[in-house]
Amino acid sequence: MTAFVDTSALLALLDASEDTHAACARTWKKLLEDNALLVTSSYVMVETYALAQRRLGLEAVRVLTADFLPLVTVDWVDEFVHGAALASLLTANTRDLSLVDCVSFEIMRRRDLHDVFALDSDFSKQGFTVIP
């Protein structure tokens, strides 16, 4: 199994006070036990670093860097993925969708990925299978 990893899941893993922390921790453990290939984007990394630092502090950034991201393959966003995602964002014409999400969708489609470890309902609206 290959699963895309979203900011929402990473933040829930980092924040034990989150209501979704326990479910995400179980899912993460299961993904690792099943030797799932975990994929994310450089945009998700930047978003997660920024939100973790702001909400949880630099120790959360250290944990993210040392404990979680070494287990994830990073797709570095190039100008073509960025351009396609920006076009999708502008076409969607809604404030509820982010460029980072559109980049994630684009990478998932290019890699033919169907599963995403996320808490963001926008992925299911795009036809992806959200876990947990």
Q: What is the pLDDT of residues 60-117, one digit of tens each?
A: 999 999 999 999 999 999 999 999 999 999 999 988 899 999 999 999 999 999 999 9
Q: What is the pLDDT of residues 1-20, one digit of tens each?
A: 999 999 999 999 999 999 99
Residue 114 is predicted with a pLDDT of 98
Residue 132 is predicted with a pLDDT of 87
Question: DSSP character for 69?
Answer: G
**Fold assignment, 2-131:** Rossmann fold (3.40.50)
- The pTM (predicted TM-score) of the whole model is 0.95
Q: Locate the domains of the chain by residue range.
A: 2-131
